[in-house]
Amino acid sequence: MIRGLGAFVLAALVAYALAAVAATQSVLSRLAEMGIEVGLAQRLAATGHDLIGMGSSYLPIIALGLAIAFAAAALLARWLRAWRTALYALAGFAAIVAAHLILNLSFGITPIAAARTLPGLLIQGLAGAIGGLVFVRTSSAFRKNQEFDS
Amino acid sequence: MSALGTYLPRLLLAALLGVTAAAAATEYRLDTVAEDLDFPWCVAFLPDGSLLATELGGRLLRIDPDGAAHRSITGVPAVYRASQGGLFDVLLHPDFADNSLLYLSYAEGTPGDNGTAIARARLAGERLHDVTVIFRVASRKDTPVHYGGRLAFLADGTLLATTGDGFDYRESAQDLGSQLGKLLRMNDDGSPAAGNPFPHAPYVWSYGHRNPQGLAIAADGRVWLHEHGPRGGDEVNLIEPGANYGWPAVTHGVDYSGALVSPFSEWPGMTPPQYGWTPSIAPSGLAIYSGALFPEWRGNLFVGALVAREVRRLDLENGQVVGEEALFTELKSRIRDLRTGPDGALYVVTDGPGGRVLKVVPAR
């Protein structure tokens, strides 16, 4: 149980970090289109700022979305064992895309600026998919270690 | 320069002056003119002493001078009421006494295709006649927020109108091809005014605005505008035709998510604010007090604060903010609008389903 939780926390952190980094680069690229060039040092500083800055808003949303989606994936994986990896990746993708759609429906706006465009939304979803893969890998590794220990 | 560097000298001066202001605090009384209004947004003063008040839901009310009764005016254009959208400003034509013309700004359209519009109409009793939509923001949007919607007449008879960036369209504020996030200037019939600074963007007077909900013309002709920042970065701007006020390329605020909107708070060619608030106070409504009841307030900016639930008085010297004082905190209400009345009182409009119009008069 604790090991599963550890795998989930790692998956959520990886998904969040990738999503936040992608969000920052999206915003900075829109600035560049306006003629506001951002140097490497500023880009790194902005990325670090957002990783911390979005931690109290976006990270809980991603964690909640992944928790629900991974629970659904776990249920489905009982019958579709061969598809376990794909199911978790799909669940991670769907969790983040759904979170953005729900936020948009609730407030009428897009709170995470990077998700305003379809490519931006899909990239955010991709971060969730990678989170799903991380969960499968780490939970499998935990399971193997458990087997060796016993 | 950092936000601290930009504002620190002024804030130090403001702190010093604040002590002086506190020592000689103006004694006032708040009288209720009208209450139980549904999200009132703006008031205007008719020559007969009665008031016009807009409600976000789309009603235009005529309130008796003593506030005893208010009646709905018919003929108001249909508004798009959603989230921040609805009926915004009402403004009398400078020659209203002769032509009975007034102007309404409002959100119109549908969830997927909406924007700010301006209608002109002739007021007769409790009815609007000859209602004509004289301007529609050409850049449409699918969000129900950030409409701007403030109106003011310049001394030359041209009309200024603020538009918001639509939130999801923030980059449009830097695009002269878009009418989002702009201060627009037009003739009183809605046609582009002569002398605007961009021939290829004939309505645009200034740009780089987020959601300006305060606009006022000073006696010296200066145009003051304030705008909501995101999380932090509320701005008070002194408008120069053709100037770029920076949003979203530069800002002192961050996004609601905590992410940066921009790493920059200044950029060559972009005009910095005269004053600002971080954290945000959510400014709405701007009056430059010009009455006789409070001589010590004449020429000061009064800014309503939705989130801070008070009014901020800004003391000006040579176009610079040199002092700030929080007022009417006892109302504990979101402040939507402020106006100087023809009687010399300062009128305060509180936001919400039980909104009120109050007037500030000397305590004795």
Three-state DSSP string of A73-141: HHHHHHHCHHHHHHHHHHHHHHHHHHHHHHHHHHHCCCCCHHHHCHHHHHHHHHHHHHHHHHHHHHHHH
Q: In the predicted model, what is the mean pLDDT of residues B92-116?
A: 98
- Per CB-CB distance under 8 Å, the chain A contacts of B81 are none
Q: Which residue of B has its CA nearest to A108?
A: B143
Q: What pLDDT does A51 receive?
A: 98
Q: Are B53 and B43 in contact (CB under 8 A)?
A: yes
**What H or E segment, with its residue span, contains residue B61?**
strand B60-63
pTM summary value: 0.93
Q: State how far the Cα of B152 lies from the Cα of B150, in Å rounded to an integer.
A: 7
pLDDT single digits (tens) A13-33: 999 999 999 999 999 999 999
Å between B257 CA and nearest CA of chain A? 6
Q: Going by C-beta distance under 8 Å and a sequence separation of 6 or more, which residues neighbour residue A49?
A: B259, B260, B263
Provide the pLDDT confidence category of residue B24 given band limits of 50, 70 and 90.
low
CB B285 within 8 A of CB B338: yes
Tracing tokens 């909107």 back to the chain, one arrives at B261
Q: How confident is the model at residue A145 (pLDDT cuts 50, 70, 90)?
A: low
Please, which residues 94-113 of chain A have a Cβ atom closer than 8 Å to chain B? 107-113
What are the pLDDT digits (tens) for B143-176?
A: 999 999 999 999 999 999 999 999 999 999 999 9
Between chains, do A53 and B257 touch, taking CB under 8 Å as contact?
yes
Q: Which of B171, B143, B160, B254 is nearest to B212 (CA)?
A: B160
- Please say if the pLDDT value at position B8 is more than 50: no
Q: Are the Cβ atoms of B143 and A36 closer than 8 angstroms?
A: no
Q: B-chain residues within 8 Å CB-CB of A105?
A: none
A117 burial type by CB count under 10 A (0-12 exposed, 13-18 middle, 19+ buried): middle
Task: Give the position of tokens 């100087």.
Answer: B340
For the stretch A73-94, pLDDT in tens is: 999 999 999 999 999 999 999 9
Q: Is B146 a catalytic residue?
A: yes
Separation in Å, CA of A149 to nearest CA in chain B: 43
pLDDT average, residue stretch B193-214: 98
Q: Which amino acid is at B45?
A: F
Residue pair A48/B256 in contact by the 8 Å Cβ criterion: no
The pLDDT of residue A106 is above 80 = yes
Can you tell me whether residue A149 is helix, strand or coil? helix
pLDDT mean over B47-53? 96
The single residue of B146, B209, B228, B252 carrying the catalytic annotation is: B146
Q: Closest-CA residue in chain A for B261?
A: A27
Contact A57 B258 (CB under 8 A): yes
Mean confidence (pLDDT) of chain B:
94
pLDDT of B342 strictly over 90: yes
* pLDDT at position B283 over 70: yes
- The band of A3, judged by pLDDT with boundaries at 50, 70 and 90, is confident
Compute the nearest-CA separation of A3 from chain B (Å). Answer: 30
* A55: chain B residues, CB-CB within 8 Å: 258
Question: Is the pLDDT reported for residue B2 higher than 60?
Answer: no
Residue-level pLDDT at B69: 78
- CB burial of residue B216 (10 Å; 0-12, 13-18, 19+): buried
Subunit contact B144:A108, Cβ cutoff 8 A? yes
- CA-nearest of B360, B349, B359 to B55 is B349
CB contact under 8 A, A116 and B168: yes
3-state SS class at B88: strand
pLDDT for residue B319: 87
- Banded model confidence at residue B23, pLDDT cuts 50, 70, 90: very low
Q: Which letter does DSSP use for residue B172 in this model?
A: G
Contact residues, chain B to chain A, C-beta under 8 Å: 82-83, 111, 143-145, 167-168, 170-171, 174, 248-249, 254-264, 267
Question: How far apart are the CA of A138 and the nearest CA of chain B, in angstroms?
Answer: 29
pLDDT of residue A4: 84
Confidence of residue A141 (pLDDT cuts 50, 70, 90): confident
Helices (H) and strands (E) in chain A, counts: 5, 0
**CB of A56 less than 8 A from some CB of B:** yes
Closest residue by Cα to residue A113 from B319, B262, B92: B262
For residues B223-245, average pLDDT: 98
